[in-house]
Amino acid sequence: MHRIGSALSVLSVCSTLHAQVGVRDSAGVRIRDISPLVSSGKIRLGLTPTVDLGANGNAESEFHRIKSVVRQSDGSILVANTSTLQVRQFDSRGKFLRSFGGKGSGPGEFQSLDKMEVLAGDSILVADHMLRRFTVFSPTGVVQRTVVIRPPFKRRVPDVVSVFHDGKIVVGSSDVDNVSPRPQPYYFTQHIYVYGSVTGEPVSEVGVFPQSEHFAQATPPEMGGTAYWSLAYGRTLTVATVDSRILVGDGTTFELRYYLPGGKLNEVVRSAEKPPLLTQLDKDAFRTKALEGEKGAGRLLTEKMLDAMPYPATIPAFKTFFVAEDGLIWIERYPRPIAKGEEWVVMDARGNVVDVLQMPRRFHPYYAGRGYVAGVGRDDDDVEHVWVFAVSSGKKP
């Protein structure tokens, strides 16, 4: 828990059912109702990674606090390693090619590593919210241009939250207000804009969305008087791009909303599945994790936070999602304490559920495409690796 501002196996086959989509229109908005969210056995992952970056002990394959993993069209793997503020590039077999970036404020350097995306032609966009800019590199890491992100009128400087394939960027400007201590949770909100890829100026506003849930707690005056905590099992906004549209969702229910760049709601994809109820086991697991490594005054403060935590009645329907290279949408169900691995719903852009997958233990996917999924895994010593698993068609439903 962080204070804000301080903040394989062959896949399990649960069923052979396949989700059907019901489509209707409401005030010009397409509504797609999907059900059920169950495994079809259509997708299988290999037993072991085809690529394991971090297994050979080489310095260039030592990672800490990986922010992002993406692939280029030739299979080259890009890893955003925040501890060194570098992007490291490997070929499709895992051979180290080069690194670029590093700490600094000059061209091609970073003060923070945030969003990383592959653009058309395999050029690479990397966002840096500390320097309030993004940099576009050639496919081999040569600086092509640096664009300063200019804030909208009377708004905070925004962060890059997603990128269109043509280079236009989607940015979010958050409202982070000081609030008095209160027992009820509250939302930060985020204004979403589309920016030009060259000028760094906003070209359209998409809208205002709930961004993340928190609660404010009284602390002694010497500690600032108020602590702003992330809400346990709170909802968090995810934003991605699909073709020319912007996809948003926060897990309040299993619902994804498509917006046009000008802000018009275009389509809603949703399931009737109810978010799971929060149990005492969930609360106990959250408490145990929050207290790990805490000692002295820090432990007392964390215990006070936990005692006052306004737990929600339900767990979010999902935690996050990303759009894969092949257009499929990978949606992470909110993890539970007894889960052996993350569970992801894979859906096409029309709302057809392709499969529901259980990931390998301690593996979190960041990027996927036709025939593979790539992400970050942790070994038994909690060391970070980049793993790539082969994806193939499973049995027919």
Q: Give the residue from 155, 159, 157 showing the smallest Cα distance to 169.
A: 159
- Spell out, as residue ranges, where the chain has pLDDT lower than 70: 1-22, 24, 26, 35, 153, 394-397
Residue 153: what pLDDT?
67
Residue 22: what pLDDT?
67
- Please state which architecture CATH assigns to domain 20-393: 6 Propeller (2.120)
Q: pLDDT per residue over 8-62, tens digit each?
A: 333 333 333 344 556 767 678 999 998 688 888 889 988 899 999 998 878 899 9
Q: pLDDT per residue over 175-191, tens digit each?
A: 777 788 888 898 889 99
Q: Domain ranges in the chain?
A: 20-393
Residue 225: what pLDDT?
84
Question: What b/e readout covers 33-59, taking b as 16+ CB neighbours within 10 angstroms?
Answer: bbbebbbbbbbbbbeebebbbbeeeee
Cα–Cα distances in angstroms (integers) from residue 337 to residues 104, 261, 318, 363, 384, in the given order: 40, 38, 15, 15, 21
Phi, psi of 289 (to 5 degrees): -65, -40
Q: Give the residue from 43, 45, 75, 80 showing the smallest Cα distance to 386.
A: 80
The strands making up 265-271's β-sheet, listed across from edge to edge, are 20-26, 29-35, 265-271, 255-259, 245-249, 238-242
